[in-house]
Amino acid sequence: MPAIRTETMTVNMGPQHPSTHGVLRIVLELDGETVLSAAPTIGYLHTGIEKTTEQKKWQQVIPLVERMDYLSAQSNSMAFCLSVERLLGVEVPERVRAIRVLLAELQRINSHLVWLGTHGMEVGAVSVMLYCFRERELLLNINEMIAGFRMFPSYMRIGGLREDLPRGFHDAVRAFLDRLPPKLDEYEDLLTENEIYRERTQGVGAISRDDAIAYGLLGPIGRASGVDYDVRKAFPYLGYETYEFAVPTQAAGDVYARYQVRVAEMRESVKICRQALERISTTGAFAVDDPRVTPPPKDRVYTEMEALIQHFLIYSQGFMVPAGEAYVPVEGPRGEHGFYVVSDGTNRPWRVKSRAPSLLACQALERMIVGGLIADVIAVIGSIDVVMGDVDR
């Protein structure tokens, strides 16, 4: 009998695809159902945010950076503020530090809920998405309470916060923290021992600890491969060294391990939020007492000429930041995240460069999916929690 001739097939997955978490295109070479090669292609969502920041005054950059990784807006603005505050040499009050920690951890839970819901839906567990978005809605309500905006509150500002916490904030956060742990149990009841989910995720998209380090995969992806690194522990900021929490890790490095790490991280974030909430008084300082960056209170603006002039200058011309460069990393929902900020001594940044964990995750996709099945590609993409706004910035 003559030998059967076979040939590979090249197909595009994306950029218009419901499960690539944005406009990500992957050129796949297939031998039947097996992936022989994969070439991720990025750039379809390019917004030029980093370049746009050079045309904005320092405080005006915050709404831009919040829209890079649109699932971790509070972490983005916090990272940018910390870098600029280092250049300014200002230290925010303890109350502001605790509020920032609280909001960043709530943002981490928010992001992980979106990840868990969409990832579950992509592998066939549709109910999980409905469960997760039920709790996420409560976090969006808290964002709306503090700033009037649900996804991009722009509440953190250079030198502190936009305004003081509203009445009822403590009660709303406490109610959410009391509600979430039993709901996390519900998510795990649906997935952790689910035979179908385990078949779809265990041994799929595995990456070794050494490869994770080589690719710069930090955050939940790296910790799922045994990389015990967390910026909050290694380079504490905002007083994280004073909070008690664990850094969950796994060794398998597969899709299931990433799921386990993120669920455990949500539980640890609840612990941090409870500690931070206890440190936040109902009223108090919400910005640094520095006339260079903080506008005077409105009652003084209406009664004192000096305060009126200061208010006018800050809002019309902005403030000057001393020449220099700074990078303060934070632990975002997707790993180490931060902004390398360069100032030339004017009222606008000379350069703002983001360390985007989603970009590094896209880079490692080929390593994770080659040799697997095409059906597993979706599970792997979901497990790395990529946000294309973070990649194409």
What was the pLDDT predicted at 227?
Answer: 92
Confidence band of 352 (pLDDT split at 50, 70, 90): very high
Task: Kindly indicate the confidence band of residue 5, based on its pLDDT and cuts at 50, 70 and 90.
Answer: low
Q: How far apart are CA 34 and CA 264, in angstroms?
A: 32
For range 202-229, the mean pLDDT: 92
DSSP state string for 39-62: EEE--TT---HHHHGGGS-GGGGH
Indicate the pairing of strand 335-343 with strand 349-355.
antiparallel
**Residue range 168-208, pLDDT digits in tens:** 999 999 999 999 999 999 999 999 988 999 999 999 989 99
| Residue range 72-101: mean pLDDT, rounded | 93
- Tell me what pLDDT residue 113 has: 95
Instruction: Give the closest residue to 210 by CA, choosing from 107, 64, 88, 364.
Output: 364
pLDDT beyond 90 at 255: yes
Q: Say what the pLDDT of residue 46 is.
A: 86
Positive/negative CA dihedral, 189, 193, 198, 199: negative
For residue 263, is pLDDT > 80?
yes
Q: What are phi and psi of 349, to 5 degrees?
A: -65, 145
Both tokens assigned to 331: 């632990």
Q: Is the pLDDT at 1 greater than 70, yes or no?
A: no
Average pLDDT, the chain: 91
For 70, half-sphere exposure in the C-beta direction (CA atoms, 13 angstrom radius) is 13
Question: How much of the chain exceeds pLDDT 70, in percent?
Answer: 99
What is residue 138's predicted lDDT score, i.e. its pLDDT?
A: 94
Report pLDDT for 284.
86
CB 65 within 8 A of CB 355: no
The secondary structure element, H or E, covering residue 389 is helix 388-391
> What digits encode the pLDDT tens for the residues 7-30?
888 998 878 777 777 788 999 999
Whether 64 shows a pLDDT value over 70: the answer reads yes
Q: Render pLDDT for 285-341 as a digit per residue (tens, 0 to 9).
A: 888 988 888 888 888 889 989 889 988 988 888 889 999 999 999 999 999 999 999
Query: Rounded to the nearest 5°, which phi and psi values hold at 291?
Result: -65, -15
- Amino acid identity for residue 109 in this structure: I
pLDDT reading at 217 higher than 80: yes
φ and ψ of 37, to 5 deg: -155, 155
- At 262 the pLDDT is 95
What's the pLDDT band for 277 if we cut at 50, 70, 90? very high
pTM equals 0.93
Range 51-62 average pLDDT: 92
HEC letters along the chain: CCCCCCCCEEEEECCCCCCCCCCCEEEEEEECCEEEEEEEECCCCCCCHHHHHHHCCHHHHHHHHCCCCCCCHHHHHHHHHHHHHHHHCCCCCHHHHHHHHHHHHHHHHHHHHHHHHHHHHHCCCHHHHHHHHHHHHHHHHHHHHHHCCCCCCCCEECCEECCCCCCCHHHHHHHHHHHHHHHHHHHHHHHCCCHHHHHHHCCCCCCCHHHHHHCCCCHHHHHHCCCCCCHHHHCCCCCHHHCCCCCCCCCCCCHHHHHHHHHHHHHHHHHHHHHHHHHCCCCCCCECCCCCCCCCCHHHHCCCHHHHHHHHHHHHHCCCCCCEEEECCEEECCEEEEEEEEECCCCCEEEEEEECHHHHHHHCHHHHHCCCEHHHHHHHHHHCCCCHHHHCC
Per-residue pLDDT of 109-129, as tens digits, reads 999 999 999 998 888 888 999
